[in-house]
Amino acid sequence: MSVAIEIQNINKKYGDLEALKDINLTINRGEFFGLLGPNGAGKSTLIGILGGLVNKDFGRITVLGKDIISNYRETKKSLGIVPQEVTFDPYFNVRETLEIQSGYFGIKNNDEKINELLKALDLTDKAEIGPRQLSGGMKRRLLIAKALVHNPEIIVLDEPTAGVDVELRNSLWDYVIKLNSQGKTIILTTHYLEEAETLCDRIAIMNKGEIVKIDTKENLINSIDKKVVSVKFADSVIGLAEKLEGTSCKIDEEENRIEIEASKNDLNDLLKFINNLDLHIVDMNIESAKLEDVFIKLTNLGGDRDE
Protein backbone atom coordinates (compact mmCIF):
# COMPACT_ATOMS: atom_id res chain seq x y z
CA MET A 1 0.00 0.00 0.00
CA SER A 2 1.45 3.37 -1.00
CA VAL A 3 1.87 6.21 1.48
CA ALA A 4 -0.30 9.33 1.40
CA ILE A 5 1.35 11.28 4.23
CA GLU A 6 4.54 10.57 6.14
CA ILE A 7 5.32 12.65 9.23
CA GLN A 8 8.83 12.32 10.65
CA ASN A 9 10.05 13.71 13.98
CA ILE A 10 7.88 16.83 13.89
CA ASN A 11 8.45 19.20 16.80
CA LYS A 12 6.88 22.56 17.55
CA LYS A 13 7.26 24.92 20.52
CA TYR A 14 5.38 28.07 21.47
CA GLY A 15 7.74 29.61 24.00
CA ASP A 16 8.10 27.05 26.76
CA LEU A 17 5.08 25.06 25.59
CA GLU A 18 5.92 21.94 23.59
CA ALA A 19 2.93 21.74 21.28
CA LEU A 20 4.33 18.76 19.36
CA LYS A 21 7.01 16.34 20.53
CA ASP A 22 8.64 13.97 18.03
CA ILE A 23 5.51 13.17 16.05
CA ASN A 24 5.95 10.19 13.73
CA LEU A 25 3.00 9.04 11.68
CA THR A 26 2.35 7.26 8.39
CA ILE A 27 -1.06 7.46 6.71
CA ASN A 28 -1.68 5.19 3.73
CA ARG A 29 -3.49 6.11 0.54
CA GLY A 30 -7.18 5.32 0.67
CA GLU A 31 -7.34 5.17 4.48
CA PHE A 32 -10.04 6.74 6.59
CA PHE A 33 -7.77 7.83 9.43
CA GLY A 34 -8.78 9.32 12.78
CA LEU A 35 -6.64 11.82 14.69
CA LEU A 36 -8.11 12.14 18.18
CA GLY A 37 -7.18 13.92 21.37
CA PRO A 38 -8.47 16.38 23.96
CA ASN A 39 -8.24 20.14 23.50
CA GLY A 40 -4.59 21.20 23.48
CA ALA A 41 -3.33 17.80 22.37
CA GLY A 42 -1.66 19.30 19.28
CA LYS A 43 -4.01 18.09 16.52
CA SER A 44 -4.70 21.49 14.96
CA THR A 45 -1.04 22.48 15.21
CA LEU A 46 -0.08 19.34 13.29
CA ILE A 47 -2.73 20.05 10.65
CA GLY A 48 -1.53 23.66 10.46
CA ILE A 49 2.01 22.46 9.72
CA LEU A 50 0.69 20.04 7.09
CA GLY A 51 -1.24 22.85 5.40
CA GLY A 52 1.64 25.33 5.52
CA LEU A 53 -0.02 27.69 8.00
CA VAL A 54 2.28 26.85 10.94
CA ASN A 55 6.08 26.61 10.78
CA LYS A 56 7.58 23.49 12.31
CA ASP A 57 10.70 23.72 14.45
CA PHE A 58 12.11 20.40 13.32
CA GLY A 59 11.15 17.36 11.25
CA ARG A 60 9.83 16.55 7.81
CA ILE A 61 6.45 15.87 6.18
CA THR A 62 5.89 14.38 2.75
CA VAL A 63 2.60 14.25 0.83
CA LEU A 64 2.45 11.53 -1.82
CA GLY A 65 6.22 11.24 -1.52
CA LYS A 66 6.95 14.97 -1.94
CA ASP A 67 8.30 17.28 0.75
CA ILE A 68 5.75 19.94 1.75
CA ILE A 69 8.44 22.65 1.89
CA SER A 70 10.46 22.06 -1.29
CA ASN A 71 7.38 21.00 -3.28
CA TYR A 72 4.76 23.17 -1.63
CA ARG A 73 2.83 23.99 -4.82
CA GLU A 74 2.37 20.33 -5.76
CA THR A 75 1.59 19.15 -2.24
CA LYS A 76 -1.00 21.89 -1.70
CA LYS A 77 -2.87 20.68 -4.78
CA SER A 78 -3.00 17.19 -3.26
CA LEU A 79 -4.53 18.46 0.00
CA GLY A 80 -8.01 19.70 0.80
CA ILE A 81 -8.17 20.97 4.38
CA VAL A 82 -11.44 21.89 6.10
CA PRO A 83 -10.45 24.12 9.06
CA GLN A 84 -12.30 24.58 12.33
CA GLU A 85 -12.61 28.33 11.85
CA VAL A 86 -15.45 29.58 9.67
CA THR A 87 -14.14 32.52 7.60
CA PHE A 88 -15.28 33.85 4.23
CA ASP A 89 -15.00 36.96 2.08
CA PRO A 90 -18.45 38.53 2.51
CA TYR A 91 -18.39 40.23 -0.91
CA PHE A 92 -18.78 37.05 -2.98
CA ASN A 93 -21.70 34.67 -3.15
CA VAL A 94 -21.39 30.90 -2.71
CA ARG A 95 -20.74 30.10 -6.38
CA GLU A 96 -18.25 32.96 -6.76
CA THR A 97 -16.44 31.80 -3.64
CA LEU A 98 -15.94 28.37 -5.18
CA GLU A 99 -14.91 29.84 -8.54
CA ILE A 100 -12.27 31.99 -6.84
CA GLN A 101 -11.06 29.02 -4.80
CA SER A 102 -10.72 27.04 -8.05
CA GLY A 103 -8.64 29.86 -9.48
CA TYR A 104 -6.15 29.60 -6.61
CA PHE A 105 -5.29 26.17 -8.00
CA GLY A 106 -5.17 27.33 -11.62
CA ILE A 107 -8.47 25.64 -12.49
CA LYS A 108 -10.65 27.43 -15.06
CA ASN A 109 -14.17 26.51 -16.14
CA ASN A 110 -14.74 24.35 -13.05
CA ASP A 111 -18.55 24.50 -13.26
CA GLU A 112 -19.02 20.74 -13.39
CA LYS A 113 -17.16 20.16 -10.11
CA ILE A 114 -18.76 23.19 -8.46
CA ASN A 115 -22.25 22.00 -9.41
CA GLU A 116 -21.44 18.52 -8.11
CA LEU A 117 -20.37 19.95 -4.73
CA LEU A 118 -23.35 22.31 -4.50
CA LYS A 119 -25.67 19.36 -5.06
CA ALA A 120 -23.82 16.95 -2.76
CA LEU A 121 -23.71 19.47 0.09
CA ASP A 122 -27.28 20.77 -0.47
CA LEU A 123 -26.10 24.27 -1.42
CA THR A 124 -27.63 24.53 -4.90
CA ASP A 125 -30.44 26.85 -3.83
CA LYS A 126 -27.92 28.98 -1.89
CA ALA A 127 -25.48 29.41 -4.82
CA GLU A 128 -26.32 33.06 -5.48
CA ILE A 129 -26.41 34.37 -1.92
CA GLY A 130 -23.58 35.67 0.26
CA PRO A 131 -22.01 33.81 3.18
CA ARG A 132 -23.48 36.28 5.68
CA GLN A 133 -26.96 35.02 4.80
CA LEU A 134 -26.05 31.38 5.42
CA SER A 135 -26.85 29.54 8.63
CA GLY A 136 -24.01 28.09 10.68
CA GLY A 137 -24.53 24.65 9.15
CA MET A 138 -24.58 26.05 5.61
CA LYS A 139 -21.35 27.96 6.25
CA ARG A 140 -19.78 24.71 7.37
CA ARG A 141 -20.93 23.07 4.13
CA LEU A 142 -19.36 25.88 2.12
CA LEU A 143 -16.07 25.39 3.97
CA ILE A 144 -16.13 21.74 2.93
CA ALA A 145 -16.94 22.63 -0.68
CA LYS A 146 -13.99 25.06 -0.77
CA ALA A 147 -11.65 22.32 0.41
CA LEU A 148 -12.89 19.87 -2.24
CA VAL A 149 -13.30 22.16 -5.25
CA HIS A 150 -9.85 21.31 -6.69
CA ASN A 151 -10.51 17.55 -6.34
CA PRO A 152 -7.66 16.77 -3.88
CA GLU A 153 -6.37 13.26 -3.27
CA ILE A 154 -6.17 13.80 0.50
CA ILE A 155 -8.97 15.42 2.50
CA VAL A 156 -8.38 16.67 6.05
CA LEU A 157 -11.50 17.33 8.11
CA ASP A 158 -10.72 19.29 11.29
CA GLU A 159 -13.86 19.09 13.48
CA PRO A 160 -16.14 19.30 10.41
CA THR A 161 -19.41 18.67 12.29
CA ALA A 162 -18.79 20.91 15.30
CA GLY A 163 -22.04 22.68 16.13
CA VAL A 164 -24.04 21.37 13.18
CA ASP A 165 -27.34 19.52 13.16
CA VAL A 166 -27.79 15.77 12.84
CA GLU A 167 -29.18 16.01 9.29
CA LEU A 168 -26.08 17.82 8.02
CA ARG A 169 -23.82 15.43 9.90
CA ASN A 170 -25.44 12.41 8.29
CA SER A 171 -25.45 13.86 4.76
CA LEU A 172 -21.84 14.96 5.12
CA TRP A 173 -20.70 11.50 6.18
CA ASP A 174 -22.60 9.89 3.32
CA TYR A 175 -20.66 12.08 0.89
CA VAL A 176 -17.30 11.60 2.61
CA ILE A 177 -17.77 7.81 2.70
CA LYS A 178 -18.48 7.96 -1.05
CA LEU A 179 -15.25 9.92 -1.61
CA ASN A 180 -13.30 7.41 0.44
CA SER A 181 -14.78 4.54 -1.58
CA GLN A 182 -13.43 6.30 -4.69
CA GLY A 183 -9.90 6.10 -3.27
CA LYS A 184 -9.62 9.46 -1.52
CA THR A 185 -7.61 9.50 1.70
CA ILE A 186 -9.61 10.99 4.58
CA ILE A 187 -8.11 12.33 7.82
CA LEU A 188 -10.61 13.22 10.52
CA THR A 189 -10.30 15.03 13.81
CA THR A 190 -13.44 15.10 15.91
CA HIS A 191 -14.69 15.30 19.49
CA TYR A 192 -17.63 13.08 18.50
CA LEU A 193 -15.97 9.78 19.25
CA GLU A 194 -18.90 7.78 17.90
CA GLU A 195 -18.13 9.33 14.50
CA ALA A 196 -14.54 8.13 14.61
CA GLU A 197 -15.63 4.70 15.84
CA THR A 198 -18.08 4.36 12.96
CA LEU A 199 -15.94 5.80 10.17
CA CYS A 200 -12.23 5.32 10.78
CA ASP A 201 -10.03 2.34 9.87
CA ARG A 202 -7.02 3.34 11.98
CA ILE A 203 -6.78 5.89 14.76
CA ALA A 204 -3.99 7.85 16.41
CA ILE A 205 -4.69 9.23 19.87
CA MET A 206 -2.73 12.34 20.88
CA ASN A 207 -2.23 13.83 24.32
CA LYS A 208 -0.06 16.77 25.40
CA GLY A 209 1.71 17.01 22.07
CA GLU A 210 2.52 13.32 21.73
CA ILE A 211 1.01 10.32 20.00
CA VAL A 212 0.23 7.88 22.79
CA LYS A 213 -1.31 5.13 20.65
CA ILE A 214 -1.78 4.20 16.99
CA ASP A 215 -3.73 1.12 15.99
CA THR A 216 -6.77 -0.17 14.15
CA LYS A 217 -10.11 0.75 15.65
CA GLU A 218 -10.78 -2.90 16.49
CA ASN A 219 -7.46 -3.39 18.29
CA LEU A 220 -7.92 -0.22 20.30
CA ILE A 221 -11.38 -1.21 21.46
CA ASN A 222 -10.35 -4.81 22.21
CA SER A 223 -7.51 -3.52 24.40
CA ILE A 224 -10.12 -2.63 27.03
CA ASP A 225 -11.28 -5.65 29.02
CA LYS A 226 -14.85 -4.59 29.58
CA LYS A 227 -18.40 -5.85 29.07
CA VAL A 228 -21.50 -3.90 30.07
CA VAL A 229 -24.64 -5.95 30.71
CA SER A 230 -27.92 -4.04 30.80
CA VAL A 231 -31.02 -5.92 31.97
CA LYS A 232 -34.63 -4.77 32.19
CA PHE A 233 -36.94 -6.77 34.46
CA ALA A 234 -40.70 -7.07 34.64
CA ASP A 235 -40.33 -7.22 38.44
CA SER A 236 -39.23 -4.46 40.77
CA VAL A 237 -35.49 -4.09 41.36
CA ILE A 238 -35.97 -2.35 44.70
CA GLY A 239 -33.77 -4.09 47.24
CA LEU A 240 -31.22 -5.39 44.72
CA ALA A 241 -28.54 -2.99 45.94
CA GLU A 242 -27.43 -5.38 48.71
CA LYS A 243 -27.16 -8.37 46.37
CA LEU A 244 -25.14 -6.30 43.88
CA GLU A 245 -22.81 -4.81 46.49
CA GLY A 246 -19.19 -5.00 45.34
CA THR A 247 -20.02 -4.88 41.63
CA SER A 248 -19.74 -1.93 39.26
CA CYS A 249 -23.47 -1.47 38.96
CA LYS A 250 -26.16 1.11 38.25
CA ILE A 251 -29.75 0.55 39.35
CA ASP A 252 -32.74 2.35 37.86
CA GLU A 253 -35.66 1.54 40.17
CA GLU A 254 -38.19 3.46 38.06
CA GLU A 255 -37.35 1.53 34.88
CA ASN A 256 -36.63 -1.75 36.74
CA ARG A 257 -33.27 -1.85 34.99
CA ILE A 258 -29.75 -2.69 36.13
CA GLU A 259 -26.45 -2.11 34.34
CA ILE A 260 -23.38 -4.06 35.45
CA GLU A 261 -19.81 -3.75 34.22
CA ALA A 262 -17.57 -6.82 34.21
CA SER A 263 -14.43 -8.21 32.64
CA LYS A 264 -14.75 -10.59 29.69
CA ASN A 265 -13.61 -13.54 31.85
CA ASP A 266 -16.29 -12.81 34.44
CA LEU A 267 -19.14 -12.56 31.93
CA ASN A 268 -20.39 -16.16 32.30
CA ASP A 269 -20.46 -15.88 36.09
CA LEU A 270 -22.30 -12.57 35.82
CA LEU A 271 -24.98 -14.03 33.54
CA LYS A 272 -25.48 -16.95 35.94
CA PHE A 273 -25.80 -14.48 38.81
CA ILE A 274 -28.44 -12.47 36.92
CA ASN A 275 -30.38 -15.64 36.11
CA ASN A 276 -30.30 -16.68 39.79
CA LEU A 277 -31.95 -13.42 40.83
CA ASP A 278 -35.20 -15.21 39.93
CA LEU A 279 -36.65 -12.09 38.27
CA HIS A 280 -38.50 -12.10 34.96
CA ILE A 281 -36.19 -10.64 32.29
CA VAL A 282 -37.88 -8.42 29.69
CA ASP A 283 -34.78 -7.35 27.78
CA MET A 284 -31.02 -7.81 27.94
CA ASN A 285 -28.17 -6.12 26.09
CA ILE A 286 -24.43 -6.86 26.25
CA GLU A 287 -21.98 -4.26 24.95
CA SER A 288 -18.22 -4.32 24.65
CA ALA A 289 -15.95 -1.38 25.37
CA LYS A 290 -16.28 1.67 23.15
CA LEU A 291 -13.66 3.94 21.64
CA GLU A 292 -14.58 6.45 24.34
CA ASP A 293 -13.29 4.03 27.00
CA VAL A 294 -9.93 3.78 25.22
CA PHE A 295 -9.78 7.56 24.77
CA ILE A 296 -10.42 8.22 28.46
CA LYS A 297 -7.86 5.65 29.53
CA LEU A 298 -5.11 6.97 27.28
CA THR A 299 -5.68 10.69 27.77
CA ASN A 300 -6.65 10.82 31.44
CA LEU A 301 -4.80 7.88 32.94
CA GLY A 302 -1.80 7.88 30.59
CA GLY A 303 -0.48 5.18 28.34
CA ASP A 304 2.74 3.84 26.95
CA ARG A 305 3.86 5.73 23.92
CA ASP A 306 4.10 3.73 20.69
CA GLU A 307 7.46 3.91 19.01
H/E/C letters for each residue in 42-67? CHHHHHHHHCCCCCCCEEEEEECCEE
Tens digit of each residue's pLDDT (9 = 90 or more) over 58-88: 999 999 999 999 999 999 999 999 988 888 8
Residues 12 and 67 grouped into a single domain: yes
Which of 195, 222, 249 corresponds to the end of one domain?
Answer: 222
Residues 237 and 169 grouped into a single domain: no
Look up the CATH number of the domain holding residue 152. Answer: 3.40.50.300
Domain ranges, residue 121: 3-222
Query: Whole-number mean pLDDT of the chain?
Result: 90
**With contact defined as beta carbons under 8 Å apart, do 205 and 292 qualify?**
no
Comparing C-alpha atoms, which of 1, 56, 2, 5 is closest to residue 186? 5
pLDDT of residue 224: 87
CA separation for the pair 52, 185 (Å, rounded): 19
Please check whether residue 293 lies inside any domain of the structure: no
Please check whether residue 99 lies inside any domain of the structure: yes
pTM, to two decimals:
0.85
Tens digit of each residue's pLDDT (9 = 90 or more) over 88-107: 888 899 999 999 999 999 99
